[in-house]
Amino acid sequence: MIGNTNYLGLKPNLHTCVVGAGYSGLAVSRYLKEFGVNYTVFEASRDIGGIWRFDPHVGVDEDGIPVFTSMYKYLRTNTPRQTMEFGGFPFPASAPSYPTGTCFYKYLKSFVKHFDLMSNIQLRSFVIAIKWIDHHWKLTYTQSEDRNNYTVHCDFVVIANGQYVRPLLPKFPGLDVFNGSVIHSHDYRDPANYKERRVLLVGAGASGLDLATQLHNITAKLVHSHHLVYNQPKFSDHYVKKPDIKGFTTNGVVFKDGTVEEVDDVIFCTGYEYSHPFLDDSCGLTVSGKFVLPLYQNIINIRHPSMSFIGVVNKVINRVMDAQAEYVASLIAGKFKLPSQDEMLRRWLAHVYKLQYKRKKIIDVNTVGPDMDQYFENLTMEAGITRAPPVLTEIRDFNAVNRLEDLLNYRDYDYEIIDSNNYKRWYNGGGSRAEECPLEI
């Protein structure tokens, strides 16, 4: 247990430092507190919630700290809440399966209150450096209230600053001379800003499709450039589907089919990259916007196993981060032992070779995707953590297909988990059901 010398050779009374108080940071906080671990969470902003906290600022907040949230008005989750809930802490049964972003934020606040987590969360503490020095971690942060930098020693470090950190902006010929506004969906806040405007929307991932549903009936014209093959719904007459972009002019855009559209605003829904600028070379990792390596189980820094990550994993549901959090907290609390560093590296290399065999690239090294249920099983087998039920994978896979088949209506259904392998789904009437939120803080 935590009071004894740990197998990593660390002394009693260990101090764990957690970076970020979004979903992942809160998940690990809950387990660290439950297991009696001494820890501090360093959160850059003025409140908890990460991407789920709405902030009207873009770029930087009132403290001059980067705004990390991408939350916008009228957002609803695009996966059922059952796949997003913390283990053992469900929404009230009467909540819609696709709650609003505001409701999900209330859920996070109620989670913090229920497990009394705020006492271990240090707000307005922007982490700027983490270094491995003299067999422990040194974490330096800027306290935005007094503008001073402080350094603390940590025996364990948990990096939980999120997946959707650095917006990925593509480059196109002529974009520098385009006279209209250009933003990434990270900075999108309110559809009302685009009323009667001619808007170019680029990309058809989760954000691109969601913004299309918000904007198609309020803009003067919505030009949507993407190459997704799906069951396009009947958008308004103002919606125009276009292929990939060739380049920009001063007042519009040229597409690869040779057509031209005049537009006032451009919104790039082109994804995100990982961002860990605070990690020093002494951490022993190779980091980029596309991957972090080598990580055992997509969690453990193999070269320094006292550093772990939550959320450096692609194509999964939120519940995976909760499982990773329980895994990390169990490790820190001494509830299980990792394999040797040589063995972890051997298993990681086997994973890389498997990717090569499947003709995947190194950018896929942190992707779980269709192997998600097996990933849950692997974490449980190794660490003895709570086994996430296979039904969650079933719901995820059905939702992924159904969202593309019925984009405008797929959220008008509620789900109920019957047992670990089965669920039921029914039409809830739509309309005002979306606004219901049986949570008060």
Q: What is the pLDDT of residues 338-349, one digit of tens each?
A: 999 999 999 999
The model's confidence at residue 36, banded by pLDDT at 50, 70 and 90, is: very high
Which has more pLDDT, 163 or 262?
262
Across-strand partners of 388? none
Any idea which of 9-13, 48-52, 55-59 has the lowest mean pLDDT? 9-13
In the chain, the percentage of residues whose pLDDT exceeds 70 is 97
Which region among 321-335, 359-373, 406-420 has the lowest average model confidence (pLDDT)? Answer: 359-373
CB contact at 8 A, 297 and 327? yes
What pLDDT, on the 0 to 100 scale, is given for residue 12?
A: 57
Q: Give the span between the Cα atoms of 117 and 113, in whole angstroms.
A: 7
Question: Considering only 3-7, 250-254, 295-299, which range has the smallest mean pLDDT?
Answer: 3-7
Give the integer Cα–Cα distance in Å for 297 and 201: 36
Q: What is the pLDDT of residues 5-31, one digit of tens each?
A: 344 444 557 999 999 999 999 999 999
Domains located in the chain, CATH noted: 15-166+273-391 (3.50.50.60), 169-268 (3.50.50.60)
Query: Using CA atoms, how far apart are residues 204 and 210, in angstroms rounded to an integer?
Result: 9
Cβ neighbors of 48 (< 8 A, separation 6 or more) are 21, 22, 26, 108, 109, 112, 117, 118, 121, 123
